[in-house]
A and B are shown apart, each in its own frame.
Chain A
Amino acid sequence: MSRAPARERLRALLLIVPLLAFLAVFFLWPLWTMMMAAVVDDTVSRVLPRTAASIVSWNGQDLPPPQVQQALVEDLRQAGDQQALGETVRRLNSAVSGFRTLMTRTTTAVRDEGNAATIDLANLDRRWQEPRFWLALKDAVPPYTDRNLLAAVDMKREADGTVVSEEPGVSANRLIMIRTFLVAGIVTLACAAIGLPYAMLAAAVTGWKRTVLLLAVLVPLWTSLLVRTTAWFVLLQNEGLINGALQAAGLIDSPLPLIFNRIGVVIAMTHVLLPFMVLPIYSVLLSVPRNLMQAAASMGAGPLRAFWRVLLPLSLPGLLSGSLLVFMVAIGYYITPALVGGANDQMISSVIAFYAMGTANWGLAGALGMILLVVTVILYFIYGRLSKSPQVLGA
């Protein structure tokens, strides 16, 4: 081959590299950081490195050998970072209650004593004779943990290593996950029910009628998501337009509860996501020859039969990719449920935001985020396969 293609390839590479680097640092790295927060737990092994190294050899049956105890004493004496130490103690205390006082006492004693050899932990505090405290320490040492991922689906690991479900009432993550998929499913169905006839209509008419129908879909897509949600917020209120109109018409006596509940979330999300359903179906129908329905009619099929046997099967690919798209976007929604939904309509995103911003529980936020991310990316790749060109918007 000549040198020209090689040079061309190099030029293409140089043009792509800046964006690739940018996205690697500011897109992939954050996602990686979040996922690592879910599975890495190195607070204990960083603060107590010697203990971490020696406790591995302990069989976990009776008390650990003296060298493990000496390593712990040495680690506590060397521990300089008080904040990290405090975090370690908190982590251990959450595994076995009472660990906090035990560690505080031990640390003080170690600091007061000059020489490591003189300290006998069992003498210092009887609790060091109980294997459960040592077991908790051993459990906390490995830098990788599945604790957060299990907690994300309401499971936990027992002391003997078996995985069991959390008692009901302790955590509601599984419920929220089921709710997220349920709401996304309802919204997808609602979008399909409205979007399919709409897209067929838009594809069937011509001229200015088609332009108007398409603009009605595209204009909301261009206007801000926040503005659309605001609009629904105002409309759905008890004193809002919808209730006002219904009451004025004498259809209802007291306002319908439309906001801060599931109905409001479904209405608002369906409206917001409808373009994602209409556009794929419409673009599929555009490629259907216009005379196909006439052909079906000339073969003796009634309009209903022609629709059922010809038009509907032909629009299925569009319906499928539209549904995938709506479902995929819906499961990650935050703004609309946060504003229009009540306490029982919050979806995974809201829970992640709560753990991250409210309680700074990065591990659990990361684990839930990882689940949501994996589901979304899988759906996206299926969608990309189905629709050949993985474009989300017809921008």
Chain B
Amino acid sequence: MPIVAILPLAFTSSVFLTYPIEEYSLRWFRELATADAWRLSIMNSLIIGLGATLLSTILGTLAALGMRTRTLPFTNLLRTVFLLPMVVPAVVLGVGMQMLFVRLGLASTYPGVMIAHAVLCVPFVIVSVSASLQGIDPSVERAASSLGATPVTVFRRVTFPLALPGIISGAVFAFATSLDEVVITLFVAGPNQRTLARQMFSSIRENISPTVVAAALLLIIGTLCLAGLAALLRWRQERIALRAAP
């Protein structure tokens, strides 16, 4: 509700964030697109988000596949550890990363920020992919191998396509997480890696203008599109699961 209440302010022509809105304009969106600081931060968010998503989706999907069969001892403990980045206070992790990244030469670099974001994205990928793997009926895979398919073929032709919606929705969550991340970015990024969220955070602190609300609207539209995509994929997967197990 509070979000809905402020969004119209993005279209005000005034410099003040107050109602009633006298005149509507796209002035603040033009500002977003033209002001160097904002334009750069949007580009950075996309670059870093894509890098973090790629990294966390690959690592998280592999691990979720590995944990699936529960052949290893301590699977539950591993799971708990893999989900830890979600609960460790961001400032604590940020301070540690800053100290370590300076030593490793990763501070204020794009790979450094991508890696830092990927750590936070991994839990979402694990949860999403694990859920979709649980929905796969093992008898389908057994049927495939009984028909003579090698393990690799079973994975490529059966398991992977069935798990794909979960993998993609994990990636979507990862991207959304990276888009929204402020605190870690504050610690590990330099001025050149300023992301949209980071830029919003500092402009709220220093001098709030309708540009921030316009940026917020942009973020909301972005995440709602992504969430819609994820929901669509899950719905599709449920349909597939229904069809696979009559």
Contact = CB atoms under 8 A, between A and B. Distances in A.
Nearest to B73: A9
Contact of A227 (B90, B131, B205, B216): B216
Given A12-B71, A376-B87, A224 B220 contact: yes
Interface of chain B, helix or strand or loop or mixed? helix
A349 B91 contact: yes
Interface string B101-145: 101000000000001101100111001100100000000000000
Interface stretch (A22-30, A55-63, A205-213): A22-30
Interface stretch (A134-142, A288-296, A332-340): A332-340
Given A334-B91, A392-B86, A18 B63 contact: yes
A230 B216 contact: yes
B59 interface: yes
Interface in B45-95: 59-60, 62-63, 65-69, 71-72, 78-95
Interface string A1-42: 000010011011111101110110011011111110100000
Interface residues of A, number: 76
A12 B66 contact: yes
B88 to A, nearest CB: 6
Contacts of A233: 204, 208
Contacts of B42: none
A352 B92 contact: yes
A362 B85 CA distance: 22
Contacts of B245: none
Nearest to B227: A222
A31 B88 contact: yes
A391 B213 contact: no
B220 A227 contact: yes
Interface of chain A, helix or strand or loop or mixed? helix
B89 A37 contact: no
Contact of B72 (A13, A334, A335, A376): A13
Contact of B127 (A335, A349, A395): A395
Interface in A215-241: 219-220, 222-235, 237, 239-241
Given A15-B66, A18-B59, A395-B173, A30 B93 contact: yes
Q: Which of A5, A234, A271 has the most CB of B within 10 A?
A: A234
Contacts of B97: 26, 30
Contacts, number: 226
Nearest to A6: B71
A19 B62 contact: yes
B80 A33 contact: no
A49 interface: no
B18 interface: yes
B17 interface: yes
B176 interface: yes
A275 interface: no
Interface stretch (B3-11, B28-36, B157-165): B3-11
A19 B125 CA distance: 12
A332 B19 contact: no
Contacts of B190: none
A39 to B, nearest CB: 14
A357 interface: yes
Contacts of B183: 334-335
Contacts of A332: 88-92
Nearest to B208: A233
Contacts of A32: 96
B203 to A, nearest CB: 10
Contact of A30 (B19, B100, B180, B204): B100
A12 to B, nearest CB: 4
Contacts of B66: 11-16
A390 B126 CA distance: 12
Interface in A300-321: none
Interface of A: 5, 8-9, 11-16, 18-20, 22-23, 26-27, 29-35, 37, 219-220, 222-235, 237, 239-241, 244, 271, 328-329, 331-332, 334-335, 338-339, 349-350, 352-353, 356-357, 362, 365-366, 369, 372-373, 376-377, 380-381, 384, 390-393, 395
What 5 pairs between A and B have smallest CB-CB spacing?
A332-B89, A15-B66, A30-B96, A34-B96, A16-B66
Interface of B: 2-3, 5-6, 9, 16-19, 59-60, 62-63, 65-69, 71-72, 78-101, 103, 115-116, 118-119, 122-124, 127-128, 131, 173, 176, 179-180, 182-183, 186-187, 197, 200-201, 204-205, 208, 212-213, 216, 219-220, 223-224, 227
Given A13-B66, A230-B200, 18 more contacts: A12-B67, A13-B72, A14-B66, A19-B82, A26-B118, A27-B85, A31-B88, A223-B3, A224-B179, A224-B223, A229-B204, A232-B2, A239-B17, A241-B5, A334-B90, A356-B94, A365-B95, A373-B92
12 contacts: A12-B71, A15-B65, A34-B99, A224-B180, A226-B200, A231-B216, A244-B19, A331-B89, A353-B94, A369-B89, A369-B92, A393-B124
